[in-house]
């Protein structure tokens, strides 16, 4: 699918209609904070942006001498490097989270793209990001929303809270499925954290780590993924788990905005299994287009 407006309008009409009603689940990943191109009319300076996964991995690797410790694997992924950092002498969990805070929170601000998404009438938003930039955009006076926040808890003995009432565009349910930097025990970042997370996804109803409202709506509402690469094994596992045992004909529409989707994932997830439709464009093209379609006006920075 190309990034022409005609293709967007033809292919995404149902998605836009669902978003206007608030009947679409928005998933936000770390790629949400990617910079716009140099010729874009939108600006998002480096000092305001959280680092991407590669840069964050490099920062952690340097902080724990990862390359010398794991000489046969000098280019480990974030989960593996974070585990090395946590268990390095003199480090520990507190030091790991503090390092994440330094990299992700200090001086960071919501981008124009985040502000556009916060302005749209999404009733349910799920994010794997640990920062508070989306919440900040929701609470900005220009948007003035009051999200009901639920943060993942790795403790299998604690019932998962849920929204007390049906979510609304003004009072959306925001679920931080990989934790929040202000709640250190909630962060999912190391290999061991992901193992615990996967174990929790099989918990029984009352203790399931995902609020029941979200699990119910996942079987009925379309989903929009922004800021993700489906090469991420953990995201595909999450997607399959939340829609486990659904008949293929009953799975609602899912759209993933991905400028360069992996060819193999594209073949399996779109062409053969038809789980997801990929929109092959960047978020700085897609989000302003979606904002105009949903709200009927151009975004004013």
Cα dihedral 39→260→53→176 (10° resolution): 100
* CATH code, 141: 3.40.50.1220
- Show the domain range for 91: 51-104
227 with 262, same domain: the answer is yes
User: In terms of domains, do 24 and 131 share one?
Assistant: yes
Residue corresponding to tokens 């200090």:
106
Question: What does pTM read for this prediction?
Answer: 0.91
What pLDDT shows up at residue 264?
83
Instruction: Work out the number of other CB atoms within 10 angstroms of the CB of residue 61.
Output: 22
Task: Give how far the C-alpha of residue 96 lies from the chain's centroid of Cα atoms, to the nearest Å.
Answer: 21
- The tens place of each residue's pLDDT in the chain, 301 residues long, gives 444 443 566 668 889 999 999 999 999 999 999 999 888 999 999 999 999 888 999 999 988 888 887 766 656 789 999 999 999 999 999 999 999 999 998 889 999 999 999 999 999 999 999 999 999 999 999 999 999 999 999 998 888 899 989 999 999 999 999 999 999 899 999 999 998 988 888 888 888 899 999 988 988 899 999 998 777 766 677 777 766 555 556 678 888 898 887 788 777 777 666 677 888 889 999 999 999 999 999 998 7
- Are 129 and 206 contained in the same domain? yes
pLDDT confidence of residue 1: 44
Specify whether 221 is located in the same domain as 118: yes
């Amino acid at each position: 699918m190309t990034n022409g407006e005609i293709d967007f309008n033809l292919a995404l009409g149902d998605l836009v209609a669902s978003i206007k009603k608030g009947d679409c689940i928005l998933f936000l990943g770390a790629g949400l904070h990617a910079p716009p191109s140099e010729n874009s009319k939108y600006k998002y300076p480096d000092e305001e942006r959280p680092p991407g996964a590669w840069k964050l991995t490099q920062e952690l690797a340097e902080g724990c001498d990862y390359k010398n410790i794991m000489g046969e694997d000098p280019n480990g992924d974030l989960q593996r490097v974070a585990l090395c950092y946590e268990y390095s002498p003199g480090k520990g969990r507190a030091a790991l989270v503090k390092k994440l805070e330094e990299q992700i929170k200090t001086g960071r601000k919501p981008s124009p793209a985040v502000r556009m998404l916060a302005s749209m009438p999404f009733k349910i938003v799920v994010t794997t990001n640990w920062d508070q930039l989306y919440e900040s955009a929701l609470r900005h006076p220009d948007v003035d929303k009051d999200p009901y926040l639920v943060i993942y808890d790795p403790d299998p003995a604690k019932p998962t809270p849920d929204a007390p009432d049906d979510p609304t565009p003004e009072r959306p349910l925001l679920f931080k499925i990989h934790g929040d930097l202000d709640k250190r025990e909630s962060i999912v970042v190391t290999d061991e954290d992901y193992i615990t997370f996967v174990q929790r996804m099989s918990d029984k109803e009352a203790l399931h780590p995902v609020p029941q409202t979200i699990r119910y709506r996942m079987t009925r509402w379309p989903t929009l993924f922004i800021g993700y690469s489906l090469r991420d094994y953990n995201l595909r596992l999450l997607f399959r788990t939340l829609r486990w045992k659904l008949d293929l004909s009953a799975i609602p529409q899912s759209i993933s905005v991905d400028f360069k989707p992996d060819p193999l994932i594209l073949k399996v997830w779109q062409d053969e299994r038809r789980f997801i439709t990929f929109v092959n464009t960047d978020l700085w093209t897609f989000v302003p287009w979606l904002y105009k379609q949903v709200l009927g006006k151009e975004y004013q920075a």
